[in-house]
Homo-oligomer: A and B are copies of this chain.
Amino acid sequence: MDIQAPTAPAKPHEAVDTVVIRFCGDSGDGMQLTGTEFTKAAALHGNDLSTLPDFPAEIRAPAGTLAGVSGFQLSFSSQVVYTPGDAPDVLVAMNPAALRTNLADLLPNGVLIVNLGAFTANNLEKAGYKSNPLEDGSLDQKYRLYKVDISKLTQTALADSGLSTKEIGRCKNFFTLGLMFWMYNRNIVPEVENIKQKFSKLPAIADANVKVFKAGYHYGETAEIFTTSYEVRPATDIPKGKYRNITGNEATALGCVAAVKLSGLRLFLGSYPITPASDILHQLSLYKNFGIVTFQAEDEIAGITAAIGAAFGGSLALTTTSGPGMALKSEAMGLALMTELPLVIIDVQRGGPSTGLPTKTEQSDLLQAYYGRNGECPIPVIAACTPADCFNMAVEAFRLAVKYMTPVILLTDGYLANGAEPWLLPNIADLPKIEVAFRTDPVGFQVYARDAETLARQWVRPGTPGLEHRIGGLEKDFTSGNVSYDPDNHEAMIKIRAAKVAGIAKDIPLQAINGEPTGDLLVLGWGGTYGALTKATDECRARGLKVSSAHLRHLNPFPANLGEILRSFKRVLIPELNDGQLIKIVRAQFLVDAQGLNKIQGKPFKVAEVVASIEAHVGVVKAAEGGRSHVQGEVRA
C-alpha cells in the first residue's frame, strides 16, 4: 500500500493496541488543530478513538503562562475505545508551562516529546520553574524523553519561505503533527490535501504548513533520536459501515437537523451564546436552507420565550444553553409546561455553581433540570452518553416533545460537547418518526382535550380558521383550556401533567444492562460518564467481579424496569461528576441504599478511579456476606 506512506519507513515498527497521546502547549500554539488533525488521521486509518480537548478559560492568556495552556488528548486503538484514556502514553509539550501543568499525568516510562526551543529562561520563569527540568536529569529517569527543537527546525524548514518570523512561528504545530504521523505510521497524503484545503485562501501559508508537516515526518524517520515507530491497526470489532468523526455539539446540531426532516416542520432556535453550548448555535446558523431559523436573542430568557412563541406558531422549537443560562430559563420553562407546547431545551453542562468553571465539564445540572422551577412542573429529562449519541438524543428530544406536547430537557456536557469519536452514519430511513398532526377541524375543538394514550393535547397552528384560541401561564380548565381558578381543576391538572410525563415510560426502551442481570454490584450512571463506567465495569468483570453496569439516557421518567434492576443487585454504586444528584432521585424513588462515587474537578472520570471504587464496593458486599457487616456505610474510593 504505497499510498500509505510516500517513503517506506526505514526504522523498525512495533504493533500496539491502544495509544493515548496528549498534545499541550500555549493557547497560541495550535494544539487543538494538531489534535483534531491527528484524530482525523486515526479515524481514516480505521482506529476507534475518543478525544478530550481542554481549553483555558481565557481567550488568549499571555503567552507562556500556566493559565494559557491548552491541551488535546486522544486515545486511538485497534479495539473499541470508550474514553480518551486515563493517562497519556505520549505527552507532547510545546513549552515549559505545558510541561509543568501536564507532566503529572504522563504514565511512568511514557514518551515525552518537548519543544526544546521554547525552554528559554523567560518561558521557564513564566512557568514557575526554578531550574530547567530538561537539564537536571529528573525527566530522563522517569520517561522516554525526546528533546526536539521544533521551533528551530520549523524555522529552518521555512528559511526561504518569505514568511515573517511570527508567521513561521505559527507553523510549528504542523512539525509536531508530522512527527506524530511518522511515529504512528499514518498516511500523510490525505493530510497534505487537508492542509491545502484548510488554508486554500492563503496559499503561502498552506505551502509552509505542508512543508513543515513533511519536515516533521522526515525528521522522525531520519533523526537519530527516534528508534521505533508504532503501528495501531484498524479496529476490527466495530460495526461495519460509513463513519465520520464527530463532536457532541456537532452531533447535537445534526440531530436537530434530522428532526426537521423527520417531522417535516421548520425549526426555530432561540439562543444566547454561552460556553460550551455556543457551537450548536453556530452550526445550526449554517443550515438556513434546511428550514432552520436561528435567532441570537438578547438573553437566555428571550431565547427560550422566542422559542415558545415559535412553538405556538407550529415550528419545532429549540433553545440551547449551559448552567447559568439554564437557571435564567427556569420561569419560562414553566410557561412551556403550562401551555403544553413542544420545546426542546438543551443544557450543555459545565462546572458550577454560578459562573464556576466555564470551560470545564460537570454533571451538576441534573437536579436543576428536574426541579428548578416554581410549582409542580414536571418536565421529561434525557441525557446523551457519548458524543455521537448526542445525535440520537436530540432526535429523541424532539420526538417526545412533539408527541407529548411538552418541553423536554436534553442534558449533555462539556466533555461530550467538545470530545469526539467516530460515528457510524445512520441510515435515515431507520431513524424514529416524528409524527405531526396539527388539528384543523373546528368541530368539537377543545383546547386542552387530550389523546387518551399519550395525554397530549392537540397542536394547532395559528392561521387555521375556526380554531382561534388563547393560552397562557395561568392555570387552565381541564378541557376548554380557559383560565380556571377552580380548586379541584387545579389538582386534576397537576396530576394529569405529571401523569403525561410519567406515561412516557411506556414509550421508551427498557433499561439495558451491560453484564449479568444480577450480581454483587450495579454501576448506575448517566450522561457523559458512559465510556469510563462501561470500561471500568468490563475490566472488573474480566477480573471475575460480579458487577454490571447500566447507563441511563432517560432520566425522567426512568425506564420502567429500573426498579427491578436495582433490586437485582446487592449493592448499587452511582458514580457522578457532581456531589450526588442522580443518587438523590434514585434513593427517593426506589428506597435503595445506593452509594455515590463523586468527582467534582471539572474533569471526566478515569477508568482506574471507577475500577478502584467498584473493587471497594464489591469488597463491602463480600465482607458483609462473610459476616463482617461492620464495613457499612460510605465507601468512597
Contact = CB atoms under 8 A, between A and B. Distances in A.
Q: Report, as a range, how many residues of chain A touch the other chain.
A: 35 or more
A474 B356 contact: yes
Given A324-B334, A328-B331, A588-B584, A490 B355 contact: no
Interface in A26-74: 56-57, 67
Contacts of A487: 360, 601-603
Interface string A154-180: 000000000000000000000000000
B374 A326 contact: yes
Q: How many copies does the complex hold?
A: 2
Given A331-B324, A365-B374, A372-B330, A351 B490 contact: yes
Contact of A327 (B67, B334, B365, B593): B334
Nearest to A338: B354
Contacts of A599: 491
A490 B375 contact: no
Given A490-B601, A494-B579, A585-B588, A353 B368 contact: no
Interface in A372-423: 372-377
A372 B375 contact: no
A355 B472 contact: yes
Contacts of A56: 485
A370 to B, nearest CB: 7
Contact of A330 (B327, B335, B488, B587): B327
A367 interface: yes
A376 B579 contact: yes
Nearest to A57: B485
Given A338-B353, A371-B371, A593-B591, A494 B600 contact: yes
A460 B537 CA distance: 50
26 contacts: A322-B374, A326-B374, A327-B334, A327-B373, A328-B330, A334-B354, A335-B355, A337-B353, A351-B375, A351-B490, A352-B373, A353-B374, A356-B474, A357-B474, A360-B485, A364-B375, A367-B371, A368-B372, A372-B373, A376-B600, A487-B601, A587-B588, A587-B589, A588-B588, A591-B591, A591-B593
